[in-house]
Structure 1
Amino acid sequence: MGHVSVSIDIAGLPPERIVFSISPLAELGVALHALAEPGHHPGLHGWATATAAGLKPDLADRLHEARFLWSTTFSDVFAPFAGVPGHDGSTGATLAEELDMLDRLSDERFVEAALELNCSANDGDGPADPGRALELAAVHGPKPLEFTRRLLDDPAPVRAWLRRLFEDCEQAFFAETWQRVRVQLAADARHKTDLLRRKGLAEALRAVSPALSLDESAGTITVDKLVEGRTTSVDPRVGAGLTLVPSSFGWPHLMVLHAPGWRPMIHYPIGAPELPGPASVELLKRRMEALAHPLRMRLCRNLARTAHSTSELADAHGITAPEVSRHLSVLKKAGLVTTRRRGRYVLHQLNVPVVARLGSDFLETVLR
């Protein structure tokens, strides 16, 4: 495995078009992810448990129906400010303002945003393939399949349904949550803006995350992730700009929006919880040896986000199913992967709490 990363071209970008800003809709997205995947967020168990317990059954059912928008990975529908042509790229002051921006996206752009990151095997590089989207949705159960089919067939009612869902989340729990975290997020954005003005972009990026680096001569920001991608902050189709958005719920995820025709956005976590202490030396050695193979590490990236079948992993990585099975067997013997059956599919998923014991460095790398 060669070095992989996401690069953002900023050559010719006016400095004032690099902004730190807070986004209620983007934060709602990671809050919903923390509810759906509490294992990814060791510091949020109390909040996730209390919030899930307080949801009315109808809202819980609707969240389950659409959960692949935020559990498998992070849909670009949570950052409409980056995708509205002619918009200046600024985030909204309220959730309602950002939902209005979401309504301004064309049906085609909305469907691509919802499906290309969540139903494709390639992390959103390239346009969504409806047939492939349906095929992958089927693996994850009847609800995601039905949701995907309705979105492809007639986007308008699904978009209205989704807006109501987000509004009901605000009423049920997010208004109170946002009121609590927005002060800290706004303070972080102000601090990073001040750093950018006083000490320059390289220093500001270092303060955001060690995974970000700047090559001033090439005019490129590089984000060290286990995914390849390239985007530009000076696309004339959408307008120049780069938005950096702090998140209280995001750790350990560092997300980069790099879809064609959208302004790039970096959604970065502030603060990290303490993780449990290490396992025994012998157990640690066995698990680290299981992870030493570069392809197994790439498989972990897929399995950290959602359950996958062997054939799905083989297709995603361009290798044979028996080869995938051999690597999964090593990971399972080390207790790093769990397996369950859903209908005719056998699904594998990373055992995130066990991996967390290997230390935040590995966990942050596969979840970034």
Structure 2
Amino acid sequence: MTGLSKQRRRSGLALAGPIAMALLLAGCQGDTPLPPPGTQRPPSSVARPVPGAVHFTAQGDIGLGSGAREVLDTVSGLRPELNLALGDFSYEAGREQEFCDMVTGKLGGDFPYEVVTGNHESDGHDGDIANIVNCLPNRLSGMQGEYGTQWYADYPERKPLVRFIMLSPGIKFRDGNTLDYASGSERWQWTAAALDDARSKQIPWTVVGMHTPCLSVGRYSCQAGQDLTNLLIDKKADLVLSGHDHIYQRSHQLGPGQECPLLVPDTFSAGCLASSGGTMAQGAGTVFVTVGTGGVGLYDVDDQDPEAGYFAAWSGKNRDAALGTLDVTATKDRLSAKFVPANGYTFTDSFSIGRK
């Protein structure tokens, strides 16, 4: 996998154009028990929406192995209305259709399995995002942007509870370049405008998804970029989801303030912690969750990482190893999330954000 590896020691002390442009481009659930092994959704069946709630799952780094199938079985048993797939799908060029067939075989041919590219398919070396988009097309009404790369959609379409915003920072595309999400860039402005527009329309929740994280106790450094990460915090995105690091990690609620004018990667500042409990209040800050546990091999976590103080929970190959998915339910008053492990694993984590 591409990306800059962190250099650290165990013993050491271990941190876009406006909405109009998008228009041109586009056009309370309680704890859920684990399904029995092999349980899956019948083909072409989509869960019926629960009135006043949105139920979705999210994970990345999936592959074609038995782990991927176990996680898809878990997703199927949870019966979400949609799934956010956070990149890195087949891991092999030429096998994208096989990946899509695996997904639709488990979840149904018309299930909204909503994708954003990972580094393995963005430049074509281990797959092609264009092929994934073709066989797992967008199924959310009113989507704006370039599906698979940078897009947003409100759900449900009428009286939406969530705006999903999917981005692609920090990974190379076929031209060998990364998309520019630096401060003031077109894509940075697009992201800011999408968040501002959701607030102006009084959509209760904003959920941002991308392949790369910035903060991590895993293998990688801030590939999502400091500028974009601080924008998401500054705009008070409620939940930011990523993959890439094959671990699970969930941050405390991070927010700006006099003691945290900017969050700086590879360091820790207690002033950036808006809330450190499992029950949080909307508007205080942003929760970052990496769910790179969709099926491929896990990475180690490092509790001596300098950014460890930003995190409330983590799981990796060397600690509470688990494949699985994040399971999220949003109502107008609360966003509740739980990590649900695949069959045979036991690690879990949960948190919630309430509206004032």
TM interval, short-chain normalised: under 0.3
Which protein is bigger by CA-based radius of gyration? 1
**Which structure shows the higher strand fraction?**
2
Which has more helix, going by share of residues?
1
